[in-house]
């Protein structure tokens, strides 16, 4: 499997650094839209064929592999079969939760989450939210999905102002995503999560792959880490739904299928470079 070349100097430098010193590399991945194709019902998400095997192979060849997701960490592990990846770290809820070796560690959710849980159904009724609007209660956050409505973008436009006002009263943060608006605790994002992981394990190279707006803080963290001497490669798992992530990435691959190919290309190249 051939390995695509990043379109930026910084990305090419980081890819070369990863291949030259794989034991000093961290590769971190978003879940939905990156490792798992987007589906209408989030409860049925599953990794793209070959992804789990690709992550497991990579985990045996480089310093560390992580998933950083907006999902609860345990949900991502269950849906993604991530416990099949030796040594993987899974950071859930944008870094508020950490799954490692079967245990989830997290601080308690702020009280605003309970307020949103109580008020959200009535708020959606009052707005005549279109049929197909669905509340995903993730425990420490709630997400309002519109993908299954007749007009997902129109539904988001209708609902977002009132959801933002509810988030403000609950002292929560609004997280927009692919046909979804999430109300979640403040003070965490994927950038801070990735930065903390790097501080902990001290890699000399970081690869981060994502597809949605919530991944942009992680891309920004990769850029900041470069200034501190850590080589960084950002990868976009592209879609027709989000343009900003491809614009910010060093390398763009066509969705989870492209990410599966990239994983195979990376493992082949690492093995080739080290003669394994
Ligand atoms: O950080 P991620 O791992 O990318 O999680 C972000 C959100 O992903 C899920 O929603 C998205 O995927 C669904 C399943 O494919 C899709 O139906 C939905 O339209 C997408 O927005 C998940 O349900 C959310 O809780 C995550 O925050």
CATH, residue 34: 3.40.50.1000
pLDDT band at 235 (very low <50, low <70, confident <90, very high): very high
How crowded is residue 21: how many other Cβ atoms within 10 Å of its Cβ?
17
Q: CB of 259 within 8 A of CB of 48?
A: yes
How crowded is residue 263: how many other Cβ atoms within 10 Å of its Cβ?
27
Instruction: Evaluate: CB of 172 within 6 angstroms of ligand 1.
Output: no
Instruction: Evaluate: CB of 33 within 6 angstroms of ligand 1.
Output: yes
Q: The complex's ipTM?
A: 0.99
249 CA distance to ligand 1 centroid (A)? 20
What CA–CA distances, in Å, run from 267 to 43, 182, 193?
30, 35, 25
The CA distance from 98 to 79, in Å, is: 16
In a domain, 42, yes or no: yes
Which residue, of 152, 184, 216, is where some domain finishes? 184
- Distance from first CA to last CA of the chain, Å, rounded? 16
- 252 and 202: one domain? yes
- Our mutation pick for probing the ligand 1 site, out of 77, 153, 155, 177, counting the most ligand atoms within 8 A of Cβ, is 177
pLDDT in tens, 81-126: 999 999 999 999 999 999 988 889 998 899 999 999 999 999 999 9
Which residue, of 184, 205, 239, is where some domain finishes? 184
User: Domain of 35?
Assistant: 9-105+189-274
32 CA distance to ligand 1 centroid (A)? 5
* pLDDT, position 276: 63
Which residue, of 160, 184, 208, is where some domain finishes? 184
Atom of ligand 1 nearest to the CA of 143: 25
- 100 and 180: one domain? no
Instruction: Evaluate: CB of 136 within 6 angstroms of ligand 1.
Output: yes
Which residues lie below 8 Å from residue 244, measured CB to CB, with a gap of 6+? 213, 216
Instruction: Evaluate: CB of 38 within 6 angstroms of ligand 1.
Output: yes
Task: Indicate yes or no: pTM above 0.90.
Answer: yes
Nearest to 249 by CA among 266, 230, 231, 235: 235
Which residues lie below 8 Å from residue 145, measured CB to CB, with a gap of 6+? 42, 133, 134, 135, 136, 179, 180
* pLDDT, position 107: 84
């Amino acid at each position: 499997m051939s390995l695509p070349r990043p379109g930026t100097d910084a990305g090419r430098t980081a890819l070369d650094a990863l291949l030259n010193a794989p034991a000093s590399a961290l590769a971190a991945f978003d879940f939905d839209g990156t490792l798992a194709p987007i589906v209408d019902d989030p409860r049925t998400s599953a990794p793209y064929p070959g992804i789990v095997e690709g992550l497991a192979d990579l985990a045996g060849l480089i310093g560390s592999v992580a998933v950083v997701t907006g999902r609860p960490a345990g949900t991502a592990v269950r849906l993604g079969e991530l416990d099949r990846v030796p040594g993987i770290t899974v950071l859930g809820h944008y870094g508020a939760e950490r799954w490692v070796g079967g245990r989830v560690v997290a601080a308690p959710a702020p009280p605003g989450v309970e307020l949103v849980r109580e008020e959200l159904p009535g708020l959606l009724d009052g707005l005549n939210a279109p049929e197909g609007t669905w509340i995903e209660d993730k425990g420490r956050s709630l997400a309002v999905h519109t993908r299954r409505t007749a007009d997902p973008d129109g539904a988001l436009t209708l609902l977002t102002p009132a959801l933002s006002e509810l988030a403000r009263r609950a002292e929560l943060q609004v997280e927009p995503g692919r046909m979804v608006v999430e109300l979640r605790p403040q003070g965490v994002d994927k950038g801070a999560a990735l930065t903390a992981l790097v501080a902990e394990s001290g890699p000399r190279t970081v690869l981060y792959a994502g597809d949605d707006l919530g991944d942009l803080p992680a891309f920004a963290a990769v850029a900041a880490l470069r200034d501190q001497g850590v080589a960084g490669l950002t990868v976009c798992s592209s879609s027709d739904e989000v343009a900003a992530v491809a614009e910010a990435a060093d390398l763009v691959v066509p969705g989870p299928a492209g990410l599966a190919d990239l994983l195979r290309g990376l493992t082949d190249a690492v093995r080739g470079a080290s003669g394994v």
